[in-house]
Amino acid sequence: MTEGNYERIVNKIAESSGSTVAEIEEKIELKKAKLSGFISKEGAAQIVAAELGITFENEKLKIDELLPGMRKVHVVGKIVRLFPVRSFTTKKGDESKVANMWVADESSNIKVVLWDTNHISLIEEEKIKEGSVVEIVNAMMRDGELHLGNFSEIKPSSEILGEVKTERTFKEKNISGFVRGESAGTRAFIVQAFEPRFFKVCSECGKKVEPEGEGFVCKEHGKVVPEKRAVVTIVIDDGTDSIRAVLFHESVKDLGITELENQEILEAQRQAILGKELVFSGNVRENSYFNNLELVIDSVKEPDLDAIVKTFEESS
Protein backbone atom coordinates (compact mmCIF):
# COMPACT_ATOMS: atom_id res chain seq x y z
CA MET A 1 0.00 0.00 0.00
CA THR A 2 1.43 3.37 -0.92
CA GLU A 3 1.55 6.25 1.52
CA GLY A 4 -1.17 7.98 -0.49
CA ASN A 5 -3.52 5.03 -0.09
CA TYR A 6 -2.86 4.91 3.65
CA GLU A 7 -3.73 8.58 3.86
CA ARG A 8 -6.91 7.94 1.85
CA ILE A 9 -8.02 5.33 4.37
CA VAL A 10 -7.20 7.61 7.31
CA ASN A 11 -9.14 10.44 5.66
CA LYS A 12 -12.12 8.14 5.06
CA ILE A 13 -12.11 7.00 8.70
CA ALA A 14 -11.89 10.61 9.89
CA GLU A 15 -14.68 11.77 7.58
CA SER A 16 -16.99 8.88 8.44
CA SER A 17 -16.43 9.17 12.19
CA GLY A 18 -16.51 12.97 12.46
CA SER A 19 -12.96 12.99 13.87
CA THR A 20 -9.89 14.87 12.69
CA VAL A 21 -7.08 13.13 10.78
CA ALA A 22 -4.75 13.84 13.72
CA GLU A 23 -7.16 12.12 16.14
CA ILE A 24 -7.41 9.04 13.91
CA GLU A 25 -3.63 8.82 13.47
CA GLU A 26 -3.23 9.05 17.25
CA LYS A 27 -5.68 6.13 17.66
CA ILE A 28 -3.71 4.13 15.08
CA GLU A 29 -0.40 4.74 16.88
CA LEU A 30 -1.97 3.79 20.22
CA LYS A 31 -3.34 0.59 18.68
CA LYS A 32 0.10 -0.29 17.27
CA ALA A 33 1.70 0.37 20.67
CA LYS A 34 -0.95 -1.74 22.45
CA LEU A 35 -0.18 -4.64 20.13
CA SER A 36 3.56 -4.22 20.82
CA GLY A 37 4.24 -3.18 17.26
CA PHE A 38 3.32 -6.60 15.83
CA ILE A 39 1.02 -5.02 13.26
CA SER A 40 1.45 -2.61 10.38
CA LYS A 41 -0.07 0.86 10.46
CA GLU A 42 -2.48 -0.25 7.70
CA GLY A 43 -3.60 -3.19 9.84
CA ALA A 44 -3.98 -0.91 12.87
CA ALA A 45 -6.05 1.46 10.73
CA GLN A 46 -8.37 -1.43 9.85
CA ILE A 47 -8.88 -2.25 13.52
CA VAL A 48 -9.55 1.39 14.41
CA ALA A 49 -12.05 1.61 11.55
CA ALA A 50 -13.85 -1.53 12.74
CA GLU A 51 -14.01 -0.23 16.31
CA LEU A 52 -15.62 2.96 14.99
CA GLY A 53 -18.15 0.94 12.97
CA ILE A 54 -16.58 1.82 9.61
CA THR A 55 -16.06 -0.89 7.01
CA PHE A 56 -14.33 -1.14 3.64
CA GLU A 57 -16.38 -4.22 2.72
CA ASN A 58 -17.74 -4.23 -0.84
CA GLU A 59 -16.14 -0.85 -1.58
CA LYS A 60 -14.40 -1.12 -4.95
CA LEU A 61 -10.68 -0.87 -4.29
CA LYS A 62 -7.48 -0.83 -6.30
CA ILE A 63 -5.33 -3.95 -5.94
CA ASP A 64 -2.58 -2.13 -4.06
CA GLU A 65 -5.17 -1.03 -1.49
CA LEU A 66 -5.95 -4.58 -0.44
CA LEU A 67 -4.83 -5.52 3.07
CA PRO A 68 -4.20 -8.89 4.74
CA GLY A 69 -7.39 -10.31 6.26
CA MET A 70 -9.81 -8.18 4.23
CA ARG A 71 -13.21 -9.76 3.56
CA LYS A 72 -15.88 -8.98 0.97
CA VAL A 73 -13.26 -7.57 -1.41
CA HIS A 74 -14.46 -5.84 -4.58
CA VAL A 75 -11.94 -5.23 -7.40
CA VAL A 76 -11.77 -4.97 -11.19
CA GLY A 77 -8.70 -6.19 -13.06
CA LYS A 78 -7.33 -7.78 -16.21
CA ILE A 79 -6.34 -11.46 -16.26
CA VAL A 80 -2.65 -11.33 -17.23
CA ARG A 81 -1.85 -14.98 -16.59
CA LEU A 82 -4.15 -17.98 -16.40
CA PHE A 83 -2.97 -21.39 -15.21
CA PRO A 84 -4.54 -24.72 -16.24
CA VAL A 85 -7.42 -25.92 -14.07
CA ARG A 86 -6.20 -28.62 -11.65
CA SER A 87 -8.15 -31.53 -10.21
CA PHE A 88 -7.50 -32.90 -6.74
CA THR A 89 -8.96 -35.23 -4.14
CA THR A 90 -10.21 -33.72 -0.88
CA LYS A 91 -9.53 -35.22 2.56
CA LYS A 92 -13.03 -36.69 2.40
CA GLY A 93 -12.16 -38.47 -0.85
CA ASP A 94 -14.23 -36.20 -3.10
CA GLU A 95 -12.96 -35.03 -6.49
CA SER A 96 -12.69 -31.26 -6.83
CA LYS A 97 -11.00 -28.54 -8.89
CA VAL A 98 -9.00 -25.37 -8.33
CA ALA A 99 -7.92 -22.60 -10.71
CA ASN A 100 -5.27 -19.91 -10.31
CA MET A 101 -4.77 -16.67 -12.20
CA TRP A 102 -2.95 -13.37 -11.88
CA VAL A 103 -5.15 -10.27 -12.12
CA ALA A 104 -3.72 -6.76 -12.56
CA ASP A 105 -4.85 -3.15 -12.61
CA GLU A 106 -2.86 0.06 -13.00
CA SER A 107 -1.79 -0.03 -9.33
CA SER A 108 -0.57 -3.61 -8.81
CA ASN A 109 -1.37 -7.29 -9.38
CA ILE A 110 -2.42 -10.25 -7.25
CA LYS A 111 -2.86 -14.01 -7.45
CA VAL A 112 -6.52 -15.05 -7.50
CA VAL A 113 -7.62 -18.55 -6.48
CA LEU A 114 -10.98 -20.01 -7.58
CA TRP A 115 -12.49 -22.92 -5.64
CA ASP A 116 -16.12 -22.89 -6.82
CA THR A 117 -16.96 -25.11 -9.82
CA ASN A 118 -19.33 -22.46 -11.23
CA HIS A 119 -16.46 -19.97 -11.36
CA ILE A 120 -14.08 -22.54 -12.82
CA SER A 121 -16.60 -23.41 -15.54
CA LEU A 122 -16.24 -19.83 -16.83
CA ILE A 123 -12.60 -20.67 -17.59
CA GLU A 124 -13.36 -24.09 -19.03
CA GLU A 125 -16.02 -22.57 -21.32
CA GLU A 126 -13.62 -19.71 -22.20
CA LYS A 127 -16.08 -17.07 -21.01
CA ILE A 128 -13.11 -15.56 -19.20
CA LYS A 129 -9.52 -15.99 -20.41
CA GLU A 130 -6.14 -14.24 -20.49
CA GLY A 131 -6.74 -10.63 -21.47
CA SER A 132 -10.29 -10.56 -20.08
CA VAL A 133 -11.25 -7.76 -17.70
CA VAL A 134 -13.16 -9.23 -14.77
CA GLU A 135 -15.06 -7.91 -11.79
CA ILE A 136 -14.57 -9.79 -8.52
CA VAL A 137 -17.02 -9.34 -5.65
CA ASN A 138 -17.16 -10.74 -2.11
CA ALA A 139 -13.69 -12.33 -2.19
CA MET A 140 -11.32 -12.75 0.76
CA MET A 141 -7.65 -11.95 1.28
CA ARG A 142 -5.67 -14.96 2.51
CA ASP A 143 -1.86 -15.13 2.73
CA GLY A 144 -1.41 -12.38 0.16
CA GLU A 145 -3.82 -13.99 -2.31
CA LEU A 146 -7.44 -13.28 -3.24
CA HIS A 147 -9.64 -16.33 -2.70
CA LEU A 148 -13.15 -16.83 -4.11
CA GLY A 149 -15.57 -19.22 -2.44
CA ASN A 150 -19.21 -20.23 -2.97
CA PHE A 151 -20.54 -16.79 -2.02
CA SER A 152 -18.06 -14.87 -4.17
CA GLU A 153 -18.65 -13.68 -7.72
CA ILE A 154 -16.42 -13.28 -10.77
CA LYS A 155 -17.79 -12.06 -14.09
CA PRO A 156 -16.64 -10.33 -17.29
CA SER A 157 -16.52 -6.55 -16.96
CA SER A 158 -17.06 -3.88 -19.59
CA GLU A 159 -14.72 -1.53 -17.74
CA ILE A 160 -11.79 -0.44 -19.89
CA LEU A 161 -8.38 -0.66 -18.27
CA GLY A 162 -5.35 1.08 -19.71
CA GLU A 163 -1.82 -0.09 -19.00
CA VAL A 164 -1.79 -2.54 -16.10
CA LYS A 165 1.11 -3.39 -13.80
CA THR A 166 2.25 -6.94 -14.59
CA GLU A 167 5.54 -7.00 -12.67
CA ARG A 168 5.43 -8.36 -9.14
CA THR A 169 5.22 -5.52 -6.64
CA PHE A 170 6.70 -5.57 -3.15
CA LYS A 171 6.35 -3.13 -0.28
CA GLU A 172 9.78 -1.90 0.76
CA LYS A 173 9.86 -1.95 4.54
CA ASN A 174 11.81 -2.97 7.62
CA ILE A 175 11.68 -6.57 8.78
CA SER A 176 10.21 -5.38 12.09
CA GLY A 177 7.17 -4.19 10.13
CA PHE A 178 6.57 -7.41 8.17
CA VAL A 179 2.97 -8.65 8.30
CA ARG A 180 1.79 -12.15 7.46
CA GLY A 181 0.32 -12.45 3.99
CA GLU A 182 1.98 -9.43 2.38
CA SER A 183 4.55 -9.18 -0.39
CA ALA A 184 7.52 -7.30 1.02
CA GLY A 185 11.10 -6.39 0.21
CA THR A 186 14.02 -5.30 2.36
CA ARG A 187 17.76 -4.65 2.17
CA ALA A 188 19.42 -6.94 4.72
CA PHE A 189 22.53 -8.87 5.69
CA ILE A 190 22.79 -12.67 5.64
CA VAL A 191 23.70 -13.71 9.19
CA GLN A 192 23.12 -17.47 8.90
CA ALA A 193 23.03 -19.96 6.02
CA PHE A 194 22.00 -23.58 6.49
CA GLU A 195 22.81 -26.70 4.48
CA PRO A 196 20.66 -27.08 1.33
CA ARG A 197 17.86 -29.63 1.38
CA PHE A 198 16.71 -31.48 -1.72
CA PHE A 199 13.38 -32.66 -3.06
CA LYS A 200 12.04 -34.05 -6.34
CA VAL A 201 9.46 -32.43 -8.61
CA CYS A 202 7.52 -33.36 -11.72
CA SER A 203 9.40 -32.39 -14.89
CA GLU A 204 6.07 -31.40 -16.48
CA CYS A 205 4.43 -29.13 -13.88
CA GLY A 206 7.18 -28.56 -11.31
CA LYS A 207 5.07 -29.85 -8.41
CA LYS A 208 6.40 -32.18 -5.73
CA VAL A 209 6.21 -35.89 -6.56
CA GLU A 210 5.71 -38.89 -4.28
CA PRO A 211 7.76 -42.11 -4.35
CA GLU A 212 5.88 -45.19 -5.56
CA GLY A 213 7.67 -48.50 -5.93
CA GLU A 214 10.95 -47.86 -7.70
CA GLY A 215 9.74 -44.63 -9.34
CA PHE A 216 7.90 -41.40 -8.65
CA VAL A 217 4.32 -40.29 -9.27
CA CYS A 218 2.85 -36.84 -9.93
CA LYS A 219 -0.82 -36.42 -8.96
CA GLU A 220 -1.48 -34.74 -12.29
CA HIS A 221 0.89 -36.50 -14.72
CA GLY A 222 1.20 -39.99 -13.21
CA LYS A 223 4.58 -41.75 -13.38
CA VAL A 224 7.34 -39.30 -14.28
CA VAL A 225 11.10 -38.95 -14.35
CA PRO A 226 11.56 -36.34 -11.59
CA GLU A 227 13.90 -33.38 -11.43
CA LYS A 228 16.03 -32.66 -8.37
CA ARG A 229 15.49 -29.25 -6.76
CA ALA A 230 17.17 -27.49 -3.86
CA VAL A 231 15.84 -25.35 -1.02
CA VAL A 232 18.08 -23.21 1.19
CA THR A 233 17.14 -21.53 4.45
CA ILE A 234 18.99 -18.43 5.62
CA VAL A 235 18.51 -15.81 8.33
CA ILE A 236 18.60 -12.16 7.28
CA ASP A 237 18.87 -9.04 9.47
CA ASP A 238 18.25 -5.41 8.48
CA GLY A 239 19.04 -3.81 11.83
CA THR A 240 15.41 -3.63 12.97
CA ASP A 241 14.90 -7.39 13.29
CA SER A 242 15.86 -10.73 11.77
CA ILE A 243 13.78 -13.35 9.95
CA ARG A 244 14.17 -16.83 8.51
CA ALA A 245 14.08 -16.75 4.71
CA VAL A 246 13.55 -19.64 2.30
CA LEU A 247 14.90 -19.81 -1.26
CA PHE A 248 14.01 -22.38 -3.91
CA HIS A 249 16.22 -23.55 -6.79
CA GLU A 250 16.73 -20.56 -9.15
CA SER A 251 16.76 -18.07 -6.26
CA VAL A 252 19.48 -20.18 -4.61
CA LYS A 253 21.77 -19.40 -7.56
CA ASP A 254 20.99 -15.68 -7.24
CA LEU A 255 22.12 -15.94 -3.63
CA GLY A 256 25.60 -16.97 -4.77
CA ILE A 257 25.33 -20.72 -4.20
CA THR A 258 25.93 -22.32 -7.60
CA GLU A 259 27.45 -25.67 -6.56
CA LEU A 260 25.17 -28.16 -4.82
CA GLU A 261 26.92 -31.47 -5.44
CA ASN A 262 30.54 -30.77 -4.44
CA GLN A 263 30.45 -30.50 -0.63
CA GLU A 264 33.77 -28.65 -0.37
CA ILE A 265 32.81 -25.94 -2.89
CA LEU A 266 29.29 -25.74 -1.44
CA GLU A 267 30.64 -25.11 2.06
CA ALA A 268 33.01 -22.42 0.76
CA GLN A 269 30.16 -20.67 -1.07
CA ARG A 270 27.90 -20.94 1.99
CA GLN A 271 30.55 -19.27 4.16
CA ALA A 272 31.22 -16.61 1.51
CA ILE A 273 27.64 -15.27 1.56
CA LEU A 274 27.65 -14.70 5.34
CA GLY A 275 27.63 -10.97 6.03
CA LYS A 276 26.66 -10.17 2.44
CA GLU A 277 24.11 -7.37 1.96
CA LEU A 278 21.41 -7.97 -0.65
CA VAL A 279 17.86 -6.89 -1.48
CA PHE A 280 15.35 -9.67 -0.75
CA SER A 281 11.75 -9.68 -1.97
CA GLY A 282 9.06 -12.28 -1.38
CA ASN A 283 5.95 -13.34 0.49
CA VAL A 284 5.67 -13.21 4.27
CA ARG A 285 4.04 -16.33 5.72
CA GLU A 286 3.72 -18.03 9.07
CA ASN A 287 5.93 -21.04 9.72
CA SER A 288 3.65 -23.37 11.69
CA TYR A 289 6.59 -25.47 12.94
CA PHE A 290 8.50 -22.57 14.49
CA ASN A 291 5.36 -20.47 15.09
CA ASN A 292 6.88 -17.31 13.64
CA LEU A 293 7.05 -15.38 10.39
CA GLU A 294 9.34 -16.30 7.52
CA LEU A 295 10.03 -14.82 4.10
CA VAL A 296 9.62 -17.04 1.04
CA ILE A 297 11.99 -15.27 -1.32
CA ASP A 298 10.90 -14.51 -4.87
CA SER A 299 13.93 -12.51 -5.97
CA VAL A 300 17.44 -11.58 -4.81
CA LYS A 301 19.23 -8.50 -6.13
CA GLU A 302 22.35 -6.50 -5.47
CA PRO A 303 21.66 -3.18 -3.69
CA ASP A 304 21.39 -0.10 -5.92
CA LEU A 305 24.29 1.91 -4.45
CA ASP A 306 23.37 5.10 -6.35
CA ALA A 307 19.84 4.97 -4.92
CA ILE A 308 21.20 4.37 -1.41
CA VAL A 309 23.54 7.37 -1.66
CA LYS A 310 20.72 9.55 -3.00
CA THR A 311 18.41 8.52 -0.15
CA PHE A 312 21.15 9.22 2.38
CA GLU A 313 21.83 12.69 0.90
CA GLU A 314 18.11 13.55 0.91
CA SER A 315 17.73 12.55 4.55
CA SER A 316 20.85 14.40 5.75
Q: What is the pLDDT of residues 19-34, one digit of tens each?
A: 999 999 999 989 888 8
Query: Looking at the structure, do residues 182 and 249 belong to the same domain, yes or no?
Result: yes
Question: Does some domain include residue 207?
Answer: no
- When the pLDDT of each residue in the chain is averaged and rounded to a whole number, the result is 85
The domain of 9 spans 1-55
What percent of the chain lies above the pLDDT cut of 90?
39
Query: Looking at the structure, do residues 149 and 62 belong to the same domain, yes or no?
Result: yes
Whether the predicted pLDDT of 281 surpasses 80: yes
Name the pTM for this structure.
0.63
Average pLDDT over residues 286-297: 86
Query: Looking at the structure, do residues 19 and 91 belong to the same domain, yes or no?
Result: no
Whether the predicted pLDDT of 3 surpasses 50: no
Better-scored residue on pLDDT, 184 or 58: 184
Question: Does some domain include residue 211?
Answer: no
Q: Please count the structural domains in the chain.
A: 3
In the chain the beta strands, taken as DSSP E runs, fall at 73-82, 86-89, 95-104, 109-114, 133-142, 145-148, 153-156, 171-172, 183-193, 197-201, 210-212, 215-218, 222-224, 227-237, 242-248, 277-287, 292-301
Centre a 10 Å sphere on the Cβ of residue 179 and count the other Cβ atoms it contains. 19
Instruction: Give residue-wise pLDDT tens across range 76-98.
Output: 999 999 998 988 777 677 788 89
Query: Looking at the structure, do residues 48 and 70 belong to the same domain, yes or no?
Result: no
Whether the predicted pLDDT of 166 surpasses 50: yes
Question: Does some domain include residue 274?
Answer: yes
Whether the predicted pLDDT of 257 surpasses 60: yes
Query: Looking at the structure, do residues 183 and 232 belong to the same domain, yes or no?
Result: yes
Q: What is the pLDDT of residue 93?
A: 74
Query: Looking at the structure, do residues 32 and 94 belong to the same domain, yes or no?
Result: no
